[in-house]
Structure 1
């Protein structure tokens, strides 16, 4: 075992949606995932010090040099609770011997097991000199009927030499119980502890463990979920042939197949289908006076409306969508929450929602900006450039929509629009030279250069990574130069490309023509012969 509670560690400060995030770069963590990392690091140190070690020898160095002075409620912890003990990386690196395997298990010693039973160990001297080794058996739990022996119990090994040890469980059949202890191996400057264990069951159920389906979710009417449980006695031994009754507790889910009793491993299972009701669909099982619940939940199946994928600028289907641009997906069951990404980049999953795009030889994720139960805003990956279509699906957890064919095009120009300062009308999203939104209250002035914000202008000369903000240098300019008219008058384009520090937001800098009419004027963008929907721009 290794420390895994209340660890203060470095954290990532990039992705609030990701694991182990903290804006400071450091955080407190707990869990076996972090204990495993410590053990992996110690294994690397052992391999560095002993490059000739096999994986089994590295395991022995870690396990058999661990400190077995581990307390559990004030008493020495059992082997079943703490294994060989607490990791000691220094002792592992400096070990003088290894033992393979690193632990001894005689398993379940049932009435059908004849004694003696044995396990062979390989003891290796990993030093450069001769070494005297002695082995003692140190039971932690006394067994009045059987004993653990080791032969030979002392040996002299030359540098690099090995010796097989025969560890046996001898005597008469033990009473029900859990028996454990250690082989204490004195090997020069190191003492190795090899834990051993054997168990004898009493056949009386003491606990029920849910092995599968304890918590699951799917779409309404989804089929073939497995609920699995195991019965064990107080010594952890499986209890076979125990009657089990599965039942539906909440919702309209259906049990389609069951095991009537536990098998030789103490396991029983049922297969269930979710019903048509949204929300909780809970199943239960009863065995030997114990009850266990399996908490299911049914959500709407993600469904994309017919014609439900539209350009995020003009909200129209159009003739296709340019890779790198944004689309809005409309439907039902597209998310179980309303979220907008809090990061500068766009994640591939948000609130459990993901969008995938597939084409021959290519499968790439969309990068998500916003989700709610009826809408997903996503960037079409740049990787799809040059293709005519892609197959898209929306996933919510394990639930997936039907495949939707998304038409693609080299360009799909559309102006983003914002509410005007007066009334309910929309105007093109544009900033003046002072970085203020243009509107009826703040019209664009003739002769002034303004920035238009649009979608779908296609390929650029410095393509960013899908989902990532555009770099400020070098500027990412569109391969084609758009043509812009304001009030029917050509406007000079000063720049066309991706707006720096934004994700896939196109920007066109244009000078409002001196001869443009004043008032709310139509503004149209044309690129590669494709026209945008006409928007409006207040001009003064």
Structure 2
């Protein structure tokens, strides 16, 4: 059994017979050195697992109620740190995809995606370092898999994430107007407007929210880590660290949601000249809101590309 963090590309250029038996298995590709992946308190993330015996029904399995269950379809996860009781990990959804050609849907053909919430009780450095995840399938425990605990692991949601609903062809950040409507090319942000950026992985907050529970509507908690934002008005600008930026109006958990954070940012009153968003010209964003948050030993950064009105 092997665990993979979401967004790792998996390839197996070998026959199914050798996939889980003898012989080499190519399990990923990219341009970075292999590394133990990080997890932050409260983070929503997806694990890719191979080697399970469970075959899910079409459509997978979903958590139907809150608090989120710690077992779905006979699968569960535990997170362990030295000197502390093992923590059950809430499961939000399970999905499977076959990597075999044709109609292969036997267990040895399947990759299982488990969307989970890392417990808020996770201790990050300097309090703890050694951390392990164990998967339990119908009472049988897997080997323990090492993960790296970090205080934050920022990911700004975008329309290319694996979401139930998607909007538009571009991978713009999921950013909303004050009325909750998404900021899009047809409904761009305005100069001086306050917009809401949605994200995962900002860590602990001033409000102690139970793992697997929705954030109370009456008292959203602000994140404990320092957050900075900056504005890049270049067309189609990629996210970059918000060095020398300013603090947002608010950064914390979103009321009524599970593990979802929001960053409230006010667009500058004066917008420098920039090309307007247009599919004809290939401009899919004319403002990238860069966000950086303190994490264990450095910064965790991401950005939200959006369209703003008033540009040329």
TM-score with structure 1 length normalisation? 0.40
User: Does the residue aligned with 1:470 lie in a helix, a strand or coil?
Assistant: coil
Conserved 8 A contact 2:253-2:259: yes
Among candidates 523, 531, 535, match of residue 289 of structure 2: 523
Mapping of residues 500-539 of structure 1, within 5 Å: 500-516=255-271, 519=277, 520=285, 521-528=287-294, 529-539=298-308
User: Does the residue aligned with 1:350 lie in a helix, a strand or coil?
Assistant: coil
Shift of 1:421: 4.3
- Flag the structure with higher strand content: 1
Structure 2: distance between partners of 1:485 and 1:405: 34
With a CA cutoff of 8 Å and minimum separation of 6, indicate the structure with the bigger relative contact order: 2
Shift of 1:340: 1.7
Structure 2: distance between partners of 1:470 and 1:526: 23
Structure 1: distance between partners of 2:143 and 2:87: 17
State the partner residue of 1:409: 150
User: Does the residue aligned with 2:115 lie in a helix, a strand or coil?
Assistant: strand
State the partner residue of 2:11: none
**Is structure 2 residue 50 aligned with structure 1 residue 332?**
yes
Q: Deviations over 1:442-462 (max 9, x none)?
A: 222221111111111122111
CA 1:435–1:385: 2 relative to 1, 3 Å? same
Among candidates 90, 112, 123, match of residue 385 of structure 1: 123
State the partner residue of 1:370: 93
Conserved 8 A contact 1:414-1:454: yes
Q: Deviations over 1:50-87 (max 9, x none)?
A: xxxxxxxxxxxxxxxxxxxxxxxxxxxxxxxxxxxxxx
CA RMSD of aligned residues (A): 2.6
Conserved 8 A contact 2:82-2:130: no
State the partner residue of 2:21: none
Q: Deviations over 1:443-500 (max 9, x none)?
A: 2222111111111112211121111111123221111231112316956611111111
**Is structure 2 residue 2 aligned with structure 1 residue 304?**
yes
Structure possessing the higher radius of gyration over alpha carbons: 1
Structure 1: distance between partners of 2:299 and 2:118: 19
State the partner residue of 1:321: 39
Shift of 1:435: 0.7
Mapping of residues 118-157 of structure 1, within 5 Å: none
Conserved 8 A contact 2:44-2:115: yes
User: Does the residue aligned with 2:189 lie in a helix, a strand or coil?
Assistant: coil
Shift of 1:333: 4.4
Q: How many residue pairs get matched?
A: 232
Structure 1: unaligned runs, 5 residues or longer: 1-302
Structure 1: distance between partners of 2:268 and 2:116: 35
User: Does the residue aligned with 2:187 lie in a helix, a strand or coil?
Assistant: coil
Among candidates 443, 458, 471, match of residue 188 of structure 2: 443
- Flag the structure with higher helix content: 1
Structure 2: distance between partners of 1:491 and 1:340: 39
Among candidates 218, 240, 253, match of residue 473 of structure 1: 218
User: Does the residue aligned with 1:371 lie in a helix, a strand or coil?
Assistant: strand
Structure 2: distance between partners of 1:487 and 1:415: 16
Mapping of residues 341-356 of structure 1, within 5 Å: 341-356=63-78
CA 1:402–1:441: 2 relative to 1, 3 Å? farther
Shift of 1:356: 0.7
Structure 2: distance between partners of 1:532 and 1:348: 30
User: Does the residue aligned with 2:134 lie in a helix, a strand or coil?
Assistant: strand
Conserved 8 A contact 1:311-1:327: no
User: Does the residue aligned with 1:346 lie in a helix, a strand or coil?
Assistant: coil
Structure 1: distance between partners of 2:50 and 2:191: 46
Conserved 8 A contact 2:159-2:167: no
**Is structure 2 residue 214 aligned with structure 1 residue 459?**
no
Structure 2: distance between partners of 1:498 and 1:383: 16
Mapping of residues 25-44 of structure 1, within 5 Å: none
State the partner residue of 1:143: none
Q: Deviations over 1:220-258 (max 9, x none)?
A: xxxxxxxxxxxxxxxxxxxxxxxxxxxxxxxxxxxxxxx
Conserved 8 A contact 1:470-1:499: yes
User: Does the residue aligned with 2:38 lie in a helix, a strand or coil?
Assistant: coil
Mapping of residues 48-67 of structure 1, within 5 Å: none
State the partner residue of 2:104: none
User: Does the residue aligned with 1:452 lie in a helix, a strand or coil?
Assistant: strand
